[in-house]
């Protein structure tokens, strides 16, 4: 009995003076495997670091992807059979632009860069300007020389100049299997007066019937200094200048256009006879 009590006391004393087993962490697998107290601390730190690296990597990948996308050349436009047939027809009618340099049988490739496609469509749109039905460019004069008693314009008397409107014309035109939306905006009109001089106006006004005689046009006018008679008439040419905008096949562009009209205008001198 005494030996049993002594053994028990010895075991208790040994437990008091022997330190507890320490926590072991095995980091060989990448993430520490904490076997004893404190797994939250270790795992939390490791996960934050991994999350931070993952986010940094994703952000860098996104940034690199954005840079590549921004700097990458635009993808060629793959032509459908309908578009290809239409542009082949265009190449026959108006060669150049999207066509290859291989003679009269030139045809476009099945893929076109956006710039090449726009260039070809721009060329085709140029041939369609005549279908816009731009307003009559015949020059108009005020006061109307044909209604006065002399049937002519007078040297030294101011004339108002204009052409018929409207100043905006739009239309949808289908050609070679392609539908174009066209819009023409008037920019200016140049009047070649037939006497060696010309006038360019970016705005015009129609001559009002109640205008005071001899009043100059506030927008666009001209005064002849020499007579055309009795040798003949001056040929006055009006050229209207337009900006043509177009849309087709998801592309758009613009180009200049002109429309020209003429009028034969007699210009003479009026002499006052003073009777005493």
User: Is 220:202 a contact under the CB 8 Å cutoff?
Assistant: no
pLDDT at position 30 over 70:
no
Q: How many CB atoms lie within 10 A of CB 120?
A: 22
If you count DSSP H runs as helices and E runs as strands, how many of each does the chain have, helices first? 4, 14
Q: How confident is the model at residue 118 (pLDDT cuts 50, 70, 90)?
A: confident
SS3 47: helix
Q: How many CB atoms lie within 10 A of CB 174?
A: 12
Provide the angle, in degrees to the nearest 10, between the axes of the packed helices 81-93 and 114-127. Answer: 50
Q: Which two tokens stand for residue 208?
A: 């009002």
Q: Which two tokens stand for residue 249?
A: 């096949």
DSSP state of 19: P
Q: What is the pTM of this model?
A: 0.63
- The 3-state secondary structure of 151-214, one letter per residue: CCEECCCCEEEECCCCCEEEEEEEECCEEEEEEEEEEEEEEECCCCCEEEECCCCCCCCCCCCC
Rounded to an integer, what distance in angstroms lies between the CA atom of residue 81 and that of residue 47?
Answer: 55
pLDDT at position 52 over 50:
no
pLDDT, tens digit, 9 for 90 and up, residues 124-167: 888 888 888 999 999 999 999 999 999 999 999 999 999 999 99
Q: Which two tokens stand for residue 67?
A: 């840079």
Q: Which two tokens stand for residue 273?
A: 């006879």
Q: For strand 153-154 and strand 159-162, is the pairing parallel, antiparallel, or unpaired?
A: unpaired
Residue 271 is predicted with a pLDDT of 75
pLDDT at position 221 over 80:
yes
pLDDT, tens digit, 9 for 90 and up, residues 78-116: 667 766 666 666 666 655 555 655 444 445 555 666 677
User: Is 107:100 a contact under the CB 8 Å cutoff?
Assistant: yes
């Amino acid at each position: 009995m005494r030996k049993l009590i002594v053994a028990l006391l010895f075991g208790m004393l040994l437990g008091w003076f022997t330190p507890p087993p320490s926590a072991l962490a095995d980091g060989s697998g990448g993430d520490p495997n904490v076997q004893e107290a404190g797994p939250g601390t270790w795992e939390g730190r490791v996960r934050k670091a991994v999350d931070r690296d993952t986010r940094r990597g994703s952000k860098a990948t996104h940034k690199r992807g954005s840079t590549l996308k921004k700097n990458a050349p635009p993808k060629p436009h793959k032509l459908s059979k309908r578009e290809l047939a239409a542009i082949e027809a265009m190449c026959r009618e108006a060669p150049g632009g999207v066509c290859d340099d291989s003679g009269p049988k030139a045809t476009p490739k099945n893929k076109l860069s956006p710039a090449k496609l726009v260039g070809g469509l721009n060329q085709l749109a140029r041939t369609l300007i005549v279908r816009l039905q731009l307003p009559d460019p015949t020059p108009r004069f005020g006061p109307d020389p044909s209604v006065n008693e002399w049937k002519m314009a007078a040297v030294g008397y101011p004339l108002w100049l204009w052409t018929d409107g409207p100043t905006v014309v739009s239309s949808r035109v289908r050609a070679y299997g392609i539908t174009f939306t066209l819009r023409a905006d008037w920019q200016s009109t140049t009047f070649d007066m037939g006497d060696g001089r010309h006038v360019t106006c970016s705005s015009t006004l129609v001559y009002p019937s109640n205008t005071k005689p001899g009043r100059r046009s506030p927008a666009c006018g001209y005064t002849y200094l020499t007579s055309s008679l009795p040798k003949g008439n001056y040929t006055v040419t009006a050229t209207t200048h337009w900006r043509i905008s177009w849309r087709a096949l998801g592309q758009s562009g613009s180009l200049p256009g002109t429309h020209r009209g003429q009028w034969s205008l007699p210009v003479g001198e009026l002499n006052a006879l003073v009777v005493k």
